[in-house]
Structure 1
Amino acid sequence: MQTYSPQPVAFARGEGVWLWDTEGKKYLDALAGIAVNGLGHAHPTLVGALCEQAAKLIHTSNLFRVAEQERAAEKVCAIAGMDNAFFCNSGAEANEAAIKLARLHGHQRGIENATIVVMEKAWHGRTLATLSATGSRKAQAGFEPLMGGFLRVPYNDFAAIERLAENQSIVAVLMEVLQGEGGIHLADADYLRKVRSLCDRRQWLLMIDEVQSGIGRTGKWFAHQWAGIVPDVMPLAKGLGSGVPIGACLARGVAAKVFKPGNHGTTFGGGPLVSVAA
Protein backbone atom coordinates (compact mmCIF):
# COMPACT_ATOMS: atom_id res chain seq x y z
CA MET A 1 0.00 0.00 0.00
CA GLN A 2 1.27 3.47 -0.85
CA THR A 3 1.35 4.98 2.65
CA TYR A 4 4.64 6.80 1.97
CA SER A 5 6.14 8.69 -0.97
CA PRO A 6 9.72 7.39 -0.75
CA GLN A 7 12.70 9.24 -2.14
CA PRO A 8 14.20 7.70 -5.31
CA VAL A 9 17.11 6.07 -3.49
CA ALA A 10 17.61 2.68 -1.84
CA PHE A 11 20.37 1.97 0.65
CA ALA A 12 22.47 -1.17 0.52
CA ARG A 13 24.55 -0.88 3.68
CA GLY A 14 25.53 1.40 6.55
CA GLU A 15 28.35 1.91 9.01
CA GLY A 16 28.24 4.38 11.89
CA VAL A 17 26.77 7.64 10.60
CA TRP A 18 27.29 6.69 6.93
CA LEU A 19 25.02 5.05 4.37
CA TRP A 20 25.76 3.74 0.87
CA ASP A 21 23.06 3.41 -1.75
CA THR A 22 22.69 0.63 -4.30
CA GLU A 23 24.78 2.67 -6.74
CA GLY A 24 27.66 3.00 -4.27
CA LYS A 25 27.06 6.67 -3.41
CA LYS A 26 27.94 7.64 0.18
CA TYR A 27 25.62 9.70 2.42
CA LEU A 28 25.86 11.24 5.90
CA ASP A 29 22.80 9.92 7.75
CA ALA A 30 21.24 12.85 9.62
CA LEU A 31 17.79 11.20 9.77
CA ALA A 32 18.80 8.11 11.76
CA GLY A 33 15.81 6.13 10.54
CA ILE A 34 13.39 8.78 11.92
CA ALA A 35 15.15 9.26 15.28
CA VAL A 36 15.79 5.54 15.78
CA ASN A 37 19.41 4.56 15.09
CA GLY A 38 21.02 5.97 18.21
CA LEU A 39 24.04 3.68 17.86
CA GLY A 40 24.41 4.31 14.14
CA HIS A 41 24.50 1.56 11.54
CA ALA A 42 26.08 -1.88 12.05
CA HIS A 43 27.30 -1.17 15.57
CA PRO A 44 29.45 -4.21 16.38
CA THR A 45 28.08 -4.70 19.92
CA LEU A 46 24.47 -4.61 18.72
CA VAL A 47 25.17 -6.81 15.70
CA GLY A 48 27.01 -9.32 17.87
CA ALA A 49 24.24 -9.47 20.47
CA LEU A 50 21.55 -9.96 17.81
CA CYS A 51 23.49 -12.66 15.97
CA GLU A 52 24.25 -14.52 19.19
CA GLN A 53 20.62 -14.39 20.32
CA ALA A 54 19.20 -15.30 16.89
CA ALA A 55 21.33 -18.44 16.93
CA LYS A 56 19.79 -19.46 20.27
CA LEU A 57 16.17 -18.30 20.42
CA ILE A 58 14.11 -15.70 18.54
CA HIS A 59 10.56 -15.99 19.83
CA THR A 60 8.60 -17.91 22.45
CA SER A 61 5.65 -15.57 23.35
CA ASN A 62 4.72 -14.01 26.67
CA LEU A 63 2.98 -17.20 27.78
CA PHE A 64 6.37 -18.07 29.26
CA ARG A 65 9.00 -16.13 31.14
CA VAL A 66 11.47 -14.38 28.85
CA ALA A 67 14.80 -13.91 30.60
CA GLU A 68 16.05 -11.37 28.05
CA GLN A 69 12.88 -9.30 28.52
CA GLU A 70 13.26 -9.37 32.30
CA ARG A 71 16.85 -8.13 32.05
CA ALA A 72 15.82 -5.34 29.66
CA ALA A 73 12.99 -4.28 31.97
CA GLU A 74 15.30 -4.19 34.97
CA LYS A 75 17.83 -2.02 33.16
CA VAL A 76 15.43 0.49 31.61
CA CYS A 77 13.36 0.83 34.79
CA ALA A 78 16.53 1.44 36.80
CA ILE A 79 17.64 4.38 34.66
CA ALA A 80 14.08 5.76 34.46
CA GLY A 81 13.13 5.44 38.12
CA MET A 82 10.12 3.29 37.20
CA ASP A 83 8.76 0.05 38.66
CA ASN A 84 7.79 -2.12 35.70
CA ALA A 85 7.45 -2.24 31.93
CA PHE A 86 5.14 -3.56 29.24
CA PHE A 87 7.09 -4.26 26.04
CA CYS A 88 5.50 -3.89 22.62
CA ASN A 89 6.63 -3.18 19.05
CA SER A 90 6.36 0.57 18.44
CA GLY A 91 5.80 4.01 19.91
CA ALA A 92 2.15 4.02 18.90
CA GLU A 93 1.64 0.72 20.73
CA ALA A 94 3.43 2.10 23.79
CA ASN A 95 1.12 5.13 23.83
CA GLU A 96 -1.89 2.89 23.21
CA ALA A 97 -0.92 0.91 26.30
CA ALA A 98 -0.64 4.14 28.31
CA ILE A 99 -4.11 5.24 27.20
CA LYS A 100 -5.62 1.88 28.12
CA LEU A 101 -3.81 1.91 31.45
CA ALA A 102 -5.18 5.38 32.28
CA ARG A 103 -8.73 4.41 31.36
CA LEU A 104 -8.58 1.21 33.37
CA HIS A 105 -7.14 3.13 36.31
CA GLY A 106 -10.10 5.47 36.10
CA HIS A 107 -12.61 2.64 36.09
CA GLN A 108 -10.85 1.05 39.05
CA ARG A 109 -11.43 4.35 40.88
CA GLY A 110 -15.10 4.35 39.92
CA ILE A 111 -14.78 6.97 37.18
CA GLU A 112 -17.10 5.80 34.42
CA ASN A 113 -16.21 8.33 31.70
CA ALA A 114 -12.43 8.29 32.17
CA THR A 115 -10.94 11.29 30.36
CA ILE A 116 -7.33 12.13 29.45
CA VAL A 117 -6.00 15.67 28.99
CA VAL A 118 -3.94 15.97 25.79
CA MET A 119 -2.16 18.83 24.02
CA GLU A 120 -2.60 20.86 20.89
CA LYS A 121 0.00 19.93 18.22
CA ALA A 122 0.79 16.70 20.07
CA TRP A 123 1.83 13.54 18.26
CA HIS A 124 1.29 10.12 19.81
CA GLY A 125 0.82 7.76 16.86
CA ARG A 126 -1.47 6.58 14.07
CA THR A 127 -3.61 3.90 15.74
CA LEU A 128 -7.17 5.09 16.28
CA ALA A 129 -6.69 5.87 19.98
CA THR A 130 -3.29 7.53 19.58
CA LEU A 131 -4.47 9.44 16.51
CA SER A 132 -7.41 10.73 18.55
CA ALA A 133 -4.96 11.90 21.23
CA THR A 134 -2.74 13.49 18.57
CA GLY A 135 -3.24 17.21 17.95
CA SER A 136 -3.01 17.24 14.15
CA ARG A 137 -6.18 17.77 12.16
CA LYS A 138 -4.23 16.99 8.98
CA ALA A 139 -3.34 13.52 10.27
CA GLN A 140 -6.85 12.94 11.65
CA ALA A 141 -8.75 14.02 8.53
CA GLY A 142 -10.68 11.19 6.92
CA PHE A 143 -10.53 8.88 9.93
CA GLU A 144 -13.54 10.25 11.77
CA PRO A 145 -15.30 9.46 13.99
CA LEU A 146 -12.34 9.72 16.31
CA MET A 147 -12.37 8.26 19.80
CA GLY A 148 -13.78 10.34 22.63
CA GLY A 149 -12.40 10.55 26.13
CA PHE A 150 -9.84 13.30 25.46
CA LEU A 151 -9.78 16.97 26.47
CA ARG A 152 -7.35 19.11 24.46
CA VAL A 153 -5.57 22.17 25.83
CA PRO A 154 -2.85 24.52 24.51
CA TYR A 155 0.70 23.28 25.03
CA ASN A 156 2.87 24.88 27.70
CA ASP A 157 -0.15 26.71 29.18
CA PHE A 158 -0.58 25.70 32.81
CA ALA A 159 -3.63 27.90 33.35
CA ALA A 160 -5.47 25.92 30.66
CA ILE A 161 -4.89 22.66 32.55
CA GLU A 162 -5.59 24.25 35.93
CA ARG A 163 -9.04 25.30 34.72
CA LEU A 164 -9.87 21.60 34.39
CA ALA A 165 -8.88 20.79 37.96
CA GLU A 166 -12.45 20.29 39.17
CA ASN A 167 -13.41 17.98 36.28
CA GLN A 168 -14.19 14.71 38.04
CA SER A 169 -13.78 12.62 34.87
CA ILE A 170 -10.10 13.37 34.32
CA VAL A 171 -7.74 10.50 35.14
CA ALA A 172 -4.49 11.50 33.41
CA VAL A 173 -2.46 14.03 31.45
CA LEU A 174 -0.66 12.75 28.34
CA MET A 175 2.01 15.03 26.92
CA GLU A 176 5.43 15.36 25.35
CA VAL A 177 8.20 17.39 26.97
CA LEU A 178 9.52 18.19 23.52
CA GLN A 179 7.00 18.18 20.69
CA GLY A 180 8.62 16.91 17.51
CA GLU A 181 5.97 16.48 14.82
CA GLY A 182 4.15 19.55 16.18
CA GLY A 183 7.04 21.85 15.31
CA ILE A 184 9.84 21.46 17.91
CA HIS A 185 8.11 23.01 20.90
CA LEU A 186 9.80 22.68 24.29
CA ALA A 187 7.84 22.79 27.53
CA ASP A 188 9.15 25.12 30.23
CA ALA A 189 10.63 23.37 33.26
CA ASP A 190 8.42 25.39 35.62
CA TYR A 191 5.34 24.39 33.60
CA LEU A 192 6.28 20.73 33.88
CA ARG A 193 6.80 20.99 37.62
CA LYS A 194 3.41 22.69 38.03
CA VAL A 195 1.69 19.98 35.96
CA ARG A 196 3.41 17.32 38.08
CA SER A 197 2.17 19.02 41.26
CA LEU A 198 -1.39 19.35 39.94
CA CYS A 199 -1.46 15.69 38.96
CA ASP A 200 -0.33 14.77 42.47
CA ARG A 201 -3.04 16.90 44.08
CA ARG A 202 -5.81 15.62 41.81
CA GLN A 203 -4.61 11.99 41.73
CA TRP A 204 -4.17 12.16 37.97
CA LEU A 205 -1.52 10.08 36.22
CA LEU A 206 1.18 12.13 34.52
CA MET A 207 2.03 10.26 31.32
CA ILE A 208 5.03 11.65 29.44
CA ASP A 209 5.56 10.42 25.89
CA GLU A 210 9.33 10.00 25.49
CA VAL A 211 9.13 8.03 22.24
CA GLN A 212 11.13 10.60 20.27
CA SER A 213 12.92 12.49 23.03
CA GLY A 214 14.00 9.55 25.21
CA ILE A 215 17.13 7.39 25.33
CA GLY A 216 19.67 10.19 25.53
CA ARG A 217 18.50 12.39 22.68
CA THR A 218 18.48 15.62 24.75
CA GLY A 219 21.62 15.05 26.82
CA LYS A 220 19.88 13.19 29.62
CA TRP A 221 18.32 9.75 29.46
CA PHE A 222 14.86 11.32 29.22
CA ALA A 223 13.81 14.89 28.39
CA HIS A 224 11.63 15.29 31.49
CA GLN A 225 14.70 14.83 33.69
CA TRP A 226 15.79 18.39 32.85
CA ALA A 227 12.81 19.58 34.93
CA GLY A 228 13.62 17.27 37.82
CA ILE A 229 10.32 15.40 37.65
CA VAL A 230 9.32 11.76 37.23
CA PRO A 231 6.14 10.71 35.37
CA ASP A 232 3.78 7.97 36.48
CA VAL A 233 3.70 6.42 33.01
CA MET A 234 6.28 6.74 30.24
CA PRO A 235 5.91 5.37 26.70
CA LEU A 236 9.22 4.67 24.92
CA ALA A 237 10.31 3.35 21.53
CA LYS A 238 12.48 4.56 18.61
CA GLY A 239 16.00 4.73 20.12
CA LEU A 240 15.23 1.98 22.63
CA GLY A 241 16.21 -0.71 20.12
CA SER A 242 18.52 1.27 17.81
CA GLY A 243 16.66 0.02 14.75
CA VAL A 244 15.20 -3.17 16.15
CA PRO A 245 11.41 -2.67 16.50
CA ILE A 246 10.64 -2.43 20.22
CA GLY A 247 8.50 -0.15 22.34
CA ALA A 248 7.78 -0.03 26.05
CA CYS A 249 5.27 1.50 28.42
CA LEU A 250 6.91 2.06 31.80
CA ALA A 251 4.98 2.74 35.00
CA ARG A 252 5.57 3.40 38.68
CA GLY A 253 3.58 3.59 41.90
CA VAL A 254 -0.16 3.06 41.58
CA ALA A 255 0.11 3.04 37.76
CA ALA A 256 2.42 0.02 37.92
CA LYS A 257 -0.33 -2.01 39.59
CA VAL A 258 -3.19 -1.26 37.18
CA PHE A 259 -2.74 -4.00 34.57
CA LYS A 260 -3.54 -7.56 35.57
CA PRO A 261 -3.26 -10.73 33.42
CA GLY A 262 -5.77 -10.46 30.58
CA ASN A 263 -6.04 -6.65 30.60
CA HIS A 264 -3.51 -6.13 27.82
CA GLY A 265 -1.07 -8.16 25.76
CA THR A 266 1.06 -8.63 22.67
CA THR A 267 2.24 -11.57 20.58
CA PHE A 268 5.68 -10.29 19.59
CA GLY A 269 6.45 -7.58 22.15
CA GLY A 270 9.45 -8.18 24.39
CA GLY A 271 10.62 -11.32 22.62
CA PRO A 272 14.14 -12.67 23.20
CA LEU A 273 15.67 -11.20 20.05
CA VAL A 274 14.35 -7.64 20.36
CA SER A 275 14.98 -7.54 24.10
CA VAL A 276 18.74 -7.99 23.72
CA ALA A 277 18.76 -4.86 21.53
CA ALA A 278 17.26 -2.81 24.36
Structure 2
Amino acid sequence: MAIIDVVMLLGVAALWGASFLFMRQAVPVLGPIPMIEARVLVAGLGLLLVAVLMRRVPDLRRDVRGFLALGALMAAVPFTLIAAAEMKITASLAAVLNATTPLFALLVSSIRQGTRPSRMQLAGVALGVAGVTVLVGLGPLRLDGMLVLAVLASLLASLFYALGGVYAKVRFRDTHPVVTATGQQLGAAACLLLPTLALPPRHAVTGGIVVAVLVLALACTALGFVVFFQLVKRVGPAGALTVTFLVPLFGLLWGTVFLGEPLSWSMPPGLLLVLGAVFLVTERRTGTSPRARPALRARSSRAN
Protein backbone atom coordinates (compact mmCIF):
# COMPACT_ATOMS: atom_id res chain seq x y z
CA MET A 1 0.00 0.00 0.00
CA ALA A 2 1.06 3.57 -0.63
CA ILE A 3 1.30 5.94 2.32
CA ILE A 4 -1.99 7.59 1.37
CA ASP A 5 -3.69 4.19 1.35
CA VAL A 6 -2.38 3.40 4.83
CA VAL A 7 -3.62 6.78 6.07
CA MET A 8 -7.05 6.11 4.57
CA LEU A 9 -7.16 2.63 6.11
CA LEU A 10 -6.29 3.96 9.56
CA GLY A 11 -8.77 6.79 9.11
CA VAL A 12 -11.66 4.43 8.35
CA ALA A 13 -10.73 2.17 11.27
CA ALA A 14 -10.50 5.15 13.61
CA LEU A 15 -13.89 6.50 12.47
CA TRP A 16 -15.67 3.17 12.69
CA GLY A 17 -14.03 2.39 16.02
CA ALA A 18 -15.20 5.76 17.35
CA SER A 19 -18.81 4.96 16.42
CA PHE A 20 -19.07 2.73 19.49
CA LEU A 21 -17.85 5.61 21.65
CA PHE A 22 -20.50 8.06 20.42
CA MET A 23 -23.27 5.47 20.62
CA ARG A 24 -22.30 4.73 24.21
CA GLN A 25 -22.62 8.44 25.00
CA ALA A 26 -25.95 9.06 23.28
CA VAL A 27 -27.96 5.89 23.85
CA PRO A 28 -28.70 6.41 27.59
CA VAL A 29 -30.32 9.76 26.76
CA LEU A 30 -32.02 9.11 23.43
CA GLY A 31 -32.73 5.40 23.71
CA PRO A 32 -31.60 2.87 21.09
CA ILE A 33 -34.25 3.41 18.40
CA PRO A 34 -34.41 7.26 18.35
CA MET A 35 -30.61 7.45 18.43
CA ILE A 36 -30.20 5.12 15.47
CA GLU A 37 -32.99 6.89 13.58
CA ALA A 38 -31.11 10.16 14.01
CA ARG A 39 -27.86 8.50 12.96
CA VAL A 40 -29.09 6.88 9.76
CA LEU A 41 -31.28 9.83 8.75
CA VAL A 42 -28.49 12.40 9.06
CA ALA A 43 -25.99 10.03 7.46
CA GLY A 44 -28.43 9.27 4.65
CA LEU A 45 -29.00 12.96 3.97
CA GLY A 46 -25.25 13.57 3.97
CA LEU A 47 -24.69 10.73 1.51
CA LEU A 48 -27.64 11.96 -0.56
CA LEU A 49 -25.82 15.26 -1.00
CA VAL A 50 -22.81 13.30 -2.28
CA ALA A 51 -25.10 11.37 -4.63
CA VAL A 52 -26.57 14.63 -5.93
CA LEU A 53 -23.10 16.01 -6.63
CA MET A 54 -22.26 12.77 -8.45
CA ARG A 55 -25.59 12.87 -10.33
CA ARG A 56 -26.55 9.47 -8.99
CA VAL A 57 -29.98 10.36 -7.56
CA PRO A 58 -31.99 8.65 -10.36
CA ASP A 59 -30.32 5.35 -9.42
CA LEU A 60 -31.86 5.58 -5.96
CA ARG A 61 -35.38 5.43 -7.39
CA ARG A 62 -34.94 2.17 -9.26
CA ASP A 63 -35.16 -0.23 -6.32
CA VAL A 64 -36.92 1.35 -3.35
CA ARG A 65 -38.00 -2.00 -1.91
CA GLY A 66 -34.50 -3.35 -2.21
CA PHE A 67 -33.05 -0.38 -0.33
CA LEU A 68 -35.67 -0.78 2.41
CA ALA A 69 -34.68 -4.43 2.86
CA LEU A 70 -30.97 -3.60 2.75
CA GLY A 71 -31.46 -0.77 5.23
CA ALA A 72 -33.24 -3.10 7.64
CA LEU A 73 -30.66 -5.88 7.35
CA MET A 74 -27.48 -3.82 7.44
CA ALA A 75 -28.36 -0.72 9.43
CA ALA A 76 -31.72 -0.45 11.19
CA VAL A 77 -31.69 -3.83 12.94
CA PRO A 78 -27.96 -4.32 13.69
CA PHE A 79 -27.36 -0.68 14.67
CA THR A 80 -30.30 -0.82 17.07
CA LEU A 81 -29.14 -4.13 18.55
CA ILE A 82 -25.66 -2.73 19.19
CA ALA A 83 -27.10 0.47 20.67
CA ALA A 84 -29.34 -1.55 23.00
CA ALA A 85 -26.39 -3.73 23.99
CA GLU A 86 -24.31 -0.67 24.87
CA MET A 87 -26.79 0.25 27.58
CA LYS A 88 -25.25 -2.71 29.45
CA ILE A 89 -21.80 -3.38 28.01
CA THR A 90 -18.89 -1.04 27.37
CA ALA A 91 -18.07 0.51 24.01
CA SER A 92 -14.80 -1.42 24.02
CA LEU A 93 -16.51 -4.80 24.40
CA ALA A 94 -19.11 -3.91 21.78
CA ALA A 95 -16.35 -3.07 19.29
CA VAL A 96 -14.56 -6.37 19.89
CA LEU A 97 -17.76 -8.42 19.64
CA ASN A 98 -18.58 -6.69 16.36
CA ALA A 99 -15.32 -8.07 14.95
CA THR A 100 -17.04 -11.47 14.79
CA THR A 101 -18.93 -10.38 11.65
CA PRO A 102 -16.62 -12.29 9.24
CA LEU A 103 -17.25 -15.48 11.23
CA PHE A 104 -20.98 -15.20 10.64
CA ALA A 105 -20.33 -14.20 7.03
CA LEU A 106 -18.48 -17.47 6.55
CA LEU A 107 -21.36 -19.50 7.96
CA VAL A 108 -24.02 -17.64 5.95
CA SER A 109 -22.01 -17.89 2.74
CA SER A 110 -21.33 -21.60 3.24
CA ILE A 111 -25.00 -22.38 3.87
CA ARG A 112 -26.13 -20.35 0.87
CA GLN A 113 -23.57 -21.88 -1.50
CA GLY A 114 -23.91 -25.38 -0.10
CA THR A 115 -20.18 -25.61 0.55
CA ARG A 116 -18.26 -26.92 3.53
CA PRO A 117 -15.84 -24.60 5.36
CA SER A 118 -12.21 -25.67 5.43
CA ARG A 119 -10.62 -27.01 8.58
CA MET A 120 -8.80 -23.73 9.03
CA GLN A 121 -12.04 -21.79 8.81
CA LEU A 122 -13.78 -24.11 11.27
CA ALA A 123 -10.83 -23.66 13.60
CA GLY A 124 -11.32 -19.92 13.22
CA VAL A 125 -14.96 -20.19 14.27
CA ALA A 126 -13.99 -22.26 17.31
CA LEU A 127 -11.30 -19.73 18.19
CA GLY A 128 -13.84 -16.94 17.89
CA VAL A 129 -16.18 -18.71 20.31
CA ALA A 130 -13.29 -19.08 22.75
CA GLY A 131 -12.47 -15.39 22.42
CA VAL A 132 -16.04 -14.32 23.16
CA THR A 133 -16.10 -16.68 26.15
CA VAL A 134 -12.93 -15.13 27.56
CA LEU A 135 -14.21 -11.59 27.00
CA VAL A 136 -17.56 -12.19 28.66
CA GLY A 137 -16.83 -14.83 31.27
CA LEU A 138 -13.59 -13.33 32.59
CA GLY A 139 -14.28 -9.64 32.01
CA PRO A 140 -14.90 -6.93 34.63
CA LEU A 141 -18.67 -6.79 34.07
CA ARG A 142 -20.90 -8.82 36.32
CA LEU A 143 -22.04 -11.95 34.53
CA ASP A 144 -25.84 -11.92 34.78
CA GLY A 145 -28.85 -12.30 32.54
CA MET A 146 -28.73 -8.73 31.22
CA LEU A 147 -25.07 -9.05 30.25
CA VAL A 148 -25.77 -12.30 28.41
CA LEU A 149 -28.65 -10.65 26.54
CA ALA A 150 -26.47 -7.68 25.61
CA VAL A 151 -23.73 -9.96 24.28
CA LEU A 152 -26.27 -12.00 22.33
CA ALA A 153 -27.68 -8.78 20.85
CA SER A 154 -24.20 -7.77 19.69
CA LEU A 155 -23.58 -11.18 18.13
CA LEU A 156 -27.02 -11.12 16.50
CA ALA A 157 -26.09 -7.77 14.97
CA SER A 158 -23.03 -9.42 13.41
CA LEU A 159 -25.30 -12.11 11.97
CA PHE A 160 -27.54 -9.46 10.40
CA TYR A 161 -24.48 -7.82 8.83
CA ALA A 162 -23.58 -11.17 7.30
CA LEU A 163 -27.12 -11.76 5.99
CA GLY A 164 -27.21 -8.25 4.59
CA GLY A 165 -23.85 -8.80 2.91
CA VAL A 166 -25.23 -11.76 0.97
CA TYR A 167 -28.35 -9.79 0.05
CA ALA A 168 -26.27 -6.83 -1.12
CA LYS A 169 -24.12 -9.10 -3.25
CA VAL A 170 -27.15 -10.57 -5.02
CA ARG A 171 -29.35 -7.50 -5.37
CA PHE A 172 -26.86 -4.64 -5.71
CA ARG A 173 -23.92 -6.30 -7.45
CA ASP A 174 -23.78 -3.68 -10.22
CA THR A 175 -24.92 -0.66 -8.21
CA HIS A 176 -22.52 2.21 -7.53
CA PRO A 177 -21.20 2.01 -3.93
CA VAL A 178 -22.32 5.54 -3.05
CA VAL A 179 -25.82 4.76 -4.29
CA THR A 180 -25.89 1.54 -2.25
CA ALA A 181 -24.69 3.31 0.89
CA THR A 182 -27.15 6.18 0.45
CA GLY A 183 -30.10 3.90 -0.21
CA GLN A 184 -29.13 1.72 2.72
CA GLN A 185 -29.08 4.59 5.21
CA LEU A 186 -32.27 6.23 3.91
CA GLY A 187 -33.98 2.83 3.82
CA ALA A 188 -32.99 2.27 7.44
CA ALA A 189 -34.37 5.70 8.37
CA ALA A 190 -37.70 4.81 6.76
CA CYS A 191 -37.82 1.49 8.65
CA LEU A 192 -37.25 3.18 12.01
CA LEU A 193 -39.53 6.19 11.52
CA LEU A 194 -42.71 4.74 13.08
CA PRO A 195 -40.90 3.01 15.99
CA THR A 196 -39.16 6.30 16.75
CA LEU A 197 -42.45 8.18 16.84
CA ALA A 198 -43.85 5.53 19.17
CA LEU A 199 -40.78 5.56 21.44
CA PRO A 200 -39.49 9.15 21.63
CA PRO A 201 -36.57 10.09 23.92
CA ARG A 202 -37.54 10.34 27.59
CA HIS A 203 -34.71 12.63 28.63
CA ALA A 204 -33.79 16.18 27.69
CA VAL A 205 -31.35 16.28 24.79
CA THR A 206 -28.27 18.37 25.54
CA GLY A 207 -25.92 20.07 23.12
CA GLY A 208 -23.28 17.44 23.80
CA ILE A 209 -25.63 14.65 22.73
CA VAL A 210 -26.52 16.51 19.54
CA VAL A 211 -22.83 16.87 18.71
CA ALA A 212 -22.23 13.18 19.43
CA VAL A 213 -25.02 12.13 17.06
CA LEU A 214 -23.86 14.51 14.32
CA VAL A 215 -20.29 13.23 14.52
CA LEU A 216 -21.57 9.65 14.60
CA ALA A 217 -23.72 10.20 11.51
CA LEU A 218 -21.62 12.51 9.36
CA ALA A 219 -18.09 11.44 10.28
CA CYS A 220 -18.28 7.83 11.44
CA THR A 221 -20.99 6.79 8.98
CA ALA A 222 -21.16 9.03 5.90
CA LEU A 223 -17.49 10.04 5.68
CA GLY A 224 -16.39 6.56 6.74
CA PHE A 225 -18.30 5.03 3.83
CA VAL A 226 -16.93 7.48 1.26
CA VAL A 227 -13.33 6.90 2.34
CA PHE A 228 -13.79 3.13 2.58
CA PHE A 229 -15.21 2.77 -0.90
CA GLN A 230 -12.42 4.92 -2.27
CA LEU A 231 -9.98 2.60 -0.51
CA VAL A 232 -11.63 -0.43 -2.11
CA LYS A 233 -11.18 1.25 -5.49
CA ARG A 234 -7.48 1.94 -4.83
CA VAL A 235 -6.28 -1.27 -3.17
CA GLY A 236 -9.06 -3.76 -3.87
CA PRO A 237 -11.34 -5.72 -1.54
CA ALA A 238 -8.55 -7.84 -0.03
CA GLY A 239 -6.54 -4.82 1.11
CA ALA A 240 -9.58 -2.92 2.35
CA LEU A 241 -10.72 -5.95 4.33
CA THR A 242 -7.79 -5.49 6.72
CA VAL A 243 -9.85 -2.76 8.36
CA THR A 244 -11.60 -5.67 10.11
CA PHE A 245 -8.54 -6.12 12.31
CA LEU A 246 -8.13 -2.43 13.15
CA VAL A 247 -11.66 -1.34 14.10
CA PRO A 248 -11.79 -3.23 17.45
CA LEU A 249 -8.34 -1.91 18.34
CA PHE A 250 -9.50 1.66 17.85
CA GLY A 251 -12.78 0.92 19.62
CA LEU A 252 -10.82 -0.37 22.59
CA LEU A 253 -8.48 2.63 22.50
CA TRP A 254 -11.22 5.28 22.29
CA GLY A 255 -13.31 3.63 25.02
CA THR A 256 -10.35 3.46 27.38
CA VAL A 257 -9.02 6.96 26.70
CA PHE A 258 -12.21 9.03 26.37
CA LEU A 259 -14.75 7.09 28.44
CA GLY A 260 -12.36 5.77 31.07
CA GLU A 261 -13.58 2.21 30.53
CA PRO A 262 -11.56 -0.36 32.48
CA LEU A 263 -9.03 -2.39 30.51
CA SER A 264 -9.32 -5.75 32.23
CA TRP A 265 -6.70 -8.44 31.96
CA SER A 266 -9.12 -10.57 29.92
CA MET A 267 -9.52 -7.98 27.14
CA PRO A 268 -6.12 -8.38 25.38
CA PRO A 269 -6.21 -12.21 25.17
CA GLY A 270 -9.90 -12.16 24.23
CA LEU A 271 -9.22 -9.60 21.51
CA LEU A 272 -6.28 -11.61 20.18
CA LEU A 273 -8.42 -14.75 20.04
CA VAL A 274 -11.17 -12.97 18.12
CA LEU A 275 -8.75 -11.33 15.68
CA GLY A 276 -6.95 -14.65 15.22
CA ALA A 277 -10.29 -16.22 14.40
CA VAL A 278 -11.04 -13.51 11.83
CA PHE A 279 -7.62 -14.07 10.25
CA LEU A 280 -8.19 -17.81 9.92
CA VAL A 281 -11.64 -17.33 8.45
CA THR A 282 -10.70 -14.60 5.95
CA GLU A 283 -7.22 -15.82 5.00
CA ARG A 284 -8.55 -18.03 2.24
CA ARG A 285 -11.39 -15.75 1.24
CA THR A 286 -9.47 -12.84 -0.22
CA GLY A 287 -8.40 -12.05 -3.75
CA THR A 288 -10.86 -12.93 -6.48
CA SER A 289 -12.64 -15.63 -4.54
CA PRO A 290 -16.40 -14.98 -4.49
CA ARG A 291 -16.46 -15.91 -0.83
CA ALA A 292 -14.49 -12.79 0.04
CA ARG A 293 -17.29 -10.51 -1.00
CA PRO A 294 -19.94 -11.37 1.63
CA ALA A 295 -17.48 -10.77 4.46
CA LEU A 296 -16.33 -7.51 2.93
CA ARG A 297 -19.87 -6.34 2.25
CA ALA A 298 -20.98 -7.27 5.77
CA ARG A 299 -18.15 -5.39 7.38
CA SER A 300 -18.08 -2.40 5.10
CA SER A 301 -21.79 -1.72 5.29
CA ARG A 302 -21.49 -1.21 9.18
CA ALA A 303 -21.16 2.40 9.56
CA ASN A 304 -19.60 1.91 13.00
Query: What TM-score does the superposition give when structure 1 sets the normalisation length?
Result: 0.25
Task: Tell which structure's C-alpha radius of gyration is larger.
Answer: 1
- Greater length-normalized contact order (CA 8 Å, ≥ 6 residues apart): 2
Question: Quick check: which one's strand share is greater?
Answer: 1
> Larger % of helix: which?
2
TM-score (norm 2): 0.24
